[in-house]
Chain A
Amino acid sequence: MVLPLEVDDPPSALHFDTYVHARSGALLRLAFLLTGDAHHAEDLVQTTLVKVMGRWEQVTAGGDPHAYVRKVLLHTALGWRRRRWHGERPSDPLPDVGGSPDQTAVIDSRERLRRALLQLPARQRAAVVLRHYEDLSEQDVARELGCSVGTVKSQTARGLDRLRSLMSDEP
């Protein structure tokens, strides 16, 4: 019985690389909404990919792995939030932003939303992002977060209320 035995080149390596090329951008964008920081988002994505890489064959056994990888990312992010404080506290005045007046307004809006999101509790933010960015149903969000549909509804509603309040309070 003869088998190829180069562990450095697992048979599923190509599929993993293909997935990273195709979908890690989406993971990064989701991670950015969850963390509010580009560097933390990149770290979160890479940590997630390293986690799933080792068991890629099992991850892909059920078909499209993206939902599973997204769930790993989500729970990694929530775990991080429980373990450590990232240290960002939004301040009242917005930083000066260069560019044309139109661009400034766009960037200003983004920044206000980013900072408002950061002020939501982590699970509330995750519920809002999954529901309104990933466009998941309440049932799917409940499955991703491991909670009831009722909890998702209340978390999402409270998150939206809080976002509205924060955005209207911003100058």
Chain B
Amino acid sequence: MTIDDTTLPSALRDLAASVPDDPSRLTSVHRRAARAHPRRRAVVLVSSQHGRAPIAAASGGSPSTPGPALAACPPPPPPDQASKSAAAVPMTPPAIGGQFTAGGTITSPGTATSVTVRVDMGPLDGSTLTLAVTPASKVFLSGPTPDAPEVTASSTQLQTGEGAKFIATRTGTASYNLDELHSGAAAGSDTRAPAKQAGAPQGPPTPPAIGGPFKIAGTGVSSTGDSITVNVTDGNLSGTVTLTLKCQPPQHVAGDTVEAGGTRTGADTYVADVVIVTPATP
């Protein structure tokens, strides 16, 4: 057999054509890909606040793993648009008798009867509110360290310049009752995010302050069109919580492992920025 420029191509084609094809290749490829990249599905990813990085997947695949480990909602709008859109709904003043959540900075030392807060987050953004302290009002101060749990306090312990996140009820045109206030960190910061401490005594986790971040893992219980209920087994929440989602959750989550992160928006309300649902059975 002679080899030259004219005979070599046909000889190579003939040799190449002799290799048997594998009809199950596609299945094998999918199987290998599944082994290489652990199954993940039904991920809701919303960057609800500009500048806050979405909480990463808590287990399994690495950040550099190629492929759609996370499905994302459209990216957040640019900062100016984000602030406008974020302000659009919360800026609506609450109706008289309505409860609302907001954050801001304490502008004068608290007294036994009132607390004054300049609001920079939530309804009435930009205004200074005097919140009436009632016997039902609850005040919490952050501990001596960022990781320390909050402690119950009196409104007289509130200091000018402290950040505050609070729940209040509008009782009149310009009057508000304080329901719950968490203070001790700069407004809008996450410095009071609870964290696990090695060797710390086990007990129910301290939930984040309203406006603070949460991160949990647990077992899915149920889901609706815009929420998912999770039986929490780890993280800074406990019990069974319902998370509001900004993307559609999977229809079936019962028994699945759920990891989620987001923001506490009220006494019993949470908005998830990220939810990862890993099926119980691959």
A110 CB–B CB distance under 8 Å: yes
How far, in angstroms, from A110 to B26 measured CA to CA in the complex?
A: 28
When distances are taken between beta carbons in the complex, the residues of chain A under 8 Å from B21 are 25, 28
B20 contact from A5, A38, A46, Cβ within 8 A: A38
| B16 lies within 8 A of A33 (CB) | yes
Chain A 62-97 interface residues, beta-carbon cutoff 8 Å to B: none
Q: Is the interface of B mostly helix, strand, loop or mixed?
A: loop
B50 CB–A CB distance under 8 Å: no
Proximity string of chain A (27-45) to chain B, C-beta cutoff 8 Å, 1 when within and 0 when not: 0111011000010011001
Chain A 5-23 interface residues, beta-carbon cutoff 8 Å to B: 5-8, 10, 17, 20-21
When distances are taken between beta carbons in the complex, the residues of chain B under 8 Å from A30 are 16
How far, in angstroms, from A50 to B36 measured CA to CA in the complex?
A: 9
When distances are taken between beta carbons in the complex, the residues of chain B under 8 Å from A50 are 29, 32-33, 36
When distances are taken between beta carbons in the complex, the residues of chain B under 8 Å from A8 are 39, 41
B2 contact from A33, A133, A167, Cβ within 8 A: A167
A152 CB–B CB distance under 8 Å: no
| A3 lies within 8 A of B247 (CB) | yes
B80 CB–A CB distance under 8 Å: no
Q: Is the interface of A mostly helix, strand, loop or mixed?
A: helix
* A-B contacts, 30 listed (Cβ < 8 Å): A1-B73, A4-B248, A5-B41, A5-B71, A6-B41, A6-B250, A7-B41, A8-B39, A10-B68, A25-B21, A30-B16, A32-B15, A33-B15, A38-B20, A46-B25, A47-B32, A49-B29, A53-B67, A55-B67, A109-B14, A110-B14, A110-B15, A117-B15, A128-B8, A132-B8, A133-B13, A135-B9, A160-B5, A160-B8, A163-B8
List residues of chain A with CB under 8 Å of any chain B CB: 1-8, 10, 17, 20-21, 24-25, 28-30, 32-33, 38, 41-42, 45-47, 49-51, 53-55, 106, 109-110, 112-114, 117, 128-129, 132-133, 135, 160, 163-164, 167-168
